[in-house]
Amino acid sequence: MEKPTLPKGTRDFGPAQMAKRQFIFDNIRKVFQKYGFQPLETPAMENLTTLTGKYGDEGDTLLFRITDSGEIAKKIKDFASQTRRSRVREIGKSLTKTLYEVAKQILIQKPFINTDDYILIGNEIKDLYASGQLNLPNEDINLVVNFLLNEDPSYILFRNSLLQDYFKLIKENLSSDNLLNGAASHPYFTLLLSELISNFTFESMSNKDLIPLINEKGLRYDLTVPFARYVVMNRHEITFPFKRYQIQPVWRADRPQKGRYREFYQCDADVVGTDSLLCEADIVLMIQEVFGALGILDYTIKINHRAILSGLAELTGSQNESSLFVAIDKLDKIGEEKVKEELRSRGFEDKGIDAVFSILNFKGTTEEKINFLTTQFAQSEKGKKGLADLQLVLQLLENYSSTGSTNANAHVEFDISLARGLSYYTGCIFEVKINNVAIGSVSGGGRYDNLTGVFGLPDVSGVGISFGVDRLYDAMEELKAFPEEARISSKVMIAHFDEATFHYSLGVARQLRSQGIATEVYPDQAKLKKQLDYANKKMIPFVLVIGSEEQKSGLLTLKDMQKGEQQQLAIEAIAATLKNN
């Protein structure tokens, strides 16, 4: 029997991992709800028309597609038959001519060639072509040679006898000027052609042709496009501004590697239907609350604005804004010199590049950066708009800080070099990095102005934030940030010695459960050691041992598995102890 395996790039989450993941999810969900976001779930599968064309060409190839349950064989056959017909019409003439030309040239060059031997003819054609003696394009030669040397037995049978006649015919009529017309209408030609065509029918079926034929649905690639689709479909029922959060898995047929999976969760919160910068300020606060709740203390919330980047682009005098963004995005990875090289190769002038880097390299507080940029952007409308937005976001955080013990600007850093990959951002952009942990960004987002436009609802501004659970998980493991409570197990297991104490223990279990204490009774009759082992392995913190003495006295032995201590207590005291621990 074959051992079962998991599809590559996918994972099971066992109890210990699940508990930690639920800890992350629960905290993010709590924060989202505290800020007025409401939950949404969309189906795992979407129509391909909803998904394709939204993630670029590469994204399209990474979609997982569902094979239609309908008659896909019929669709493929119909497609093949159609292809066959159009092929006959389209390339029939040129093929016929090519074959005739090749045969004619061969027979002029080698009038005494043995036309029985098609392998010889094939090799002859190759040789003549290689020596420049055949005046046909390489692809035509390949076509004919491949046909001649094809090893399919059904072709050999057919070709063998046919070619003899065919070459003989051409040989005999070599001097006649009208041969081409005559030969082309000769049944041999039609037959040859037909045979070749049936080859082409298969040859011409590519993944690109087939995949749309047999798939109408795909698995969602992110939560943003389904959200946009939902908003458009429900726009008459939705109360705008619409604040939704969504915590669901997404699927990408990426090549799996360390930290990159084919199924992974995204945790998104978005507001659409308002351009109020309060949403940006709330995103900063939510990030702070999430990281606080997760016990991650040392992190940076980088913030920038697409219009500020546009302002930078204006300073270079180049129209090629997106090339500049792409290059700046690499600064962290490849360094200043390589970025400059790339910009030069993209046609940016040295003067412009210097202007950009004098800004990127400016050191100072957020306030100093803003003051510096205000001068630089004196002539840039876009730059000014970006700065004004950013200042207002910071101002709103300032207002938030009027109460509360911590500064609402804490962890926030204005990073002029932050660019973010996705093309749809138009306003503020965010990225969160955990300091001193070698993991990329664990959260990111920004404002977009036309996400629903592609579904027919233009001019809906929105802003969102997304948390990457897998990276947060890994970072928290590295930081040992998971608390005790990120564990899901019974609070107490009841061990027993015989049937009488087993039966007695059920009443005890029921009392504990009635007080909300997660309790399990070891289900089998087994030695105490085995029962304790089970509790240990499942990380159950307390064991209640019930022997006949305990049953009689009502004073049960409560064992603290971590401390190794035990005490004899009545059931009420036990319940109280368990609830307080």
Which residue reads 């000014």 in tokens? 384
DSSP strands (E only) in 126-277: 215-219, 242-251, 263-272
* Four-point Cα dihedral 418, 424, 428, 434, nearest 10: -50
Nearest to 249 by CA among 258, 259, 232, 261: 261
- Interaction between residue 241 and a copy of itself (CB under 8 A): yes
Closer to a copy of itself by CB, 188 or 372: give it: 188
CA distance 373 to 311: 10
Stretch in the footprint of a copy of itself (CB under 8 A) among 132-140, 176-184, 315-323, 398-406: 398-406
By CB under 8 A, tell whether 6 contacts a copy of itself. yes
As a whole number of angstroms, the distance between CA 268 and CA 39 comes to 10
Residues 436 to 475 in contact with a copy of itself, rule: CB under 8 A:
455-456
In this complex, which beta carbon is closest to a copy of itself, that of residue 87 or of residue 369?
Answer: 87
Which of 25, 59, 72, 330 binds a copy of itself (CB under 8 A)? It is 72
Instruction: Rule CB under 8 A: choose which of 175, 375, 403, 436 binds a copy of itself.
Output: 403
Q: Could you say which of 514, 553, 567, 581 contacts a copy of itself (CB under 8 A)?
A: 514
70, exposed or middle or buried, with CB in 10 Å at 0-12, 13-18, 19+?
exposed
Among 81, 133, 371, 581, indicate the residue that binds a copy of itself (CB under 8 A): 81
Contact with a copy of itself (CB under 8 A) among 345, 399, 435, 562: 399
Among 91, 113, 149, 162, binds a copy of itself (CB under 8 A): 162
d(C-alpha 288, C-alpha 463), whole Å: 17
Q: Which is nearer to a copy of itself, 34 or 527 (CB)?
A: 34
Burial class (CB in 10 A: 0-12, 13-18, 19+), 565: exposed
Listed residue (45, 445, 24, 460) closest to 269, CA to CA: 445
Report the alpha-carbon distance of residue 394 to residue 430 in Å, rounded: 13
Near a copy of itself by CB under 8 A, which window of 210-218, 428-436, 443-451, 465-473?
A: 210-218
- For residue 217, the 8-state DSSP code is E
Size of the site for a copy of itself (CB under 8 A): 139
Q: What is the smallest separation between the CB atom of 489 and a copy of itself, expressed in angstroms?
A: 6
Residues 82-111 that bind a copy of itself (CB under 8 A): 84-85, 88-89
Q: Which of 130, 410, 506, 576 binds a copy of itself (CB under 8 A)?
A: 506
Give me the amino acid identity at 46. Answer: E
Does the footprint of a copy of itself cover residue 210 (CB under 8 A)?
yes
Phi, psi for 282 (deg, rounded to 5): -65, -35
> Minimum Å distance from CB 191 to a copy of itself?
5
Under the criterion CB under 8 A, does residue 2 sit at the interface with a copy of itself? yes
Q: In what order do the strands lie in the sheet with 542-546?
A: 519-521, 492-496, 542-546, 556-560, 566-569
Compute the distance between CA of residue 302 and CA of residue 416 in angstroms, rounded to an integer.
Answer: 9
> Are residues 493 and 544 in contact, defined by beta-carbon separation less than 8 angstroms?
yes
The burial class, CB within 10 Å (0-12 / 13-18 / 19+), for 188 is middle
Rank residues 15 and 335 by Cβ distance to a copy of itself and give the closer one. Answer: 15
Residue 381 touches a copy of itself, criterion: CB under 8 A: no
State the binding string over 30-69 for a copy of itself (x if CB under 8 A, else -).
---xxxx-xxxxxxxxxx-xx----------x--xxxx-x
Q: Does 497 bind a copy of itself (CB under 8 A)?
A: no
**Closer to a copy of itself by Cβ: residue 158 or 372:** 158
Assess 572 for contact with a copy of itself (CB under 8 A). no
Residue 530 binds a copy of itself (CB under 8 A): no
Closest CA to 264 of 280, 248, 279: 248
Q: Which is nearer to a copy of itself, 319 or 514 (CB)?
A: 514
* Residue 263 vs 342, nearer CB to a copy of itself: 263
Q: Which is nearer to a copy of itself, 328 or 535 (CB)?
A: 535
Q: Which of residues 299-338 bind a copy of itself (CB under 8 A)?
A: none
Residue ranges of E strands in 252-334: 263-272, 299-305
Q: CB–CB of 133/139 below 8 Å? A: no
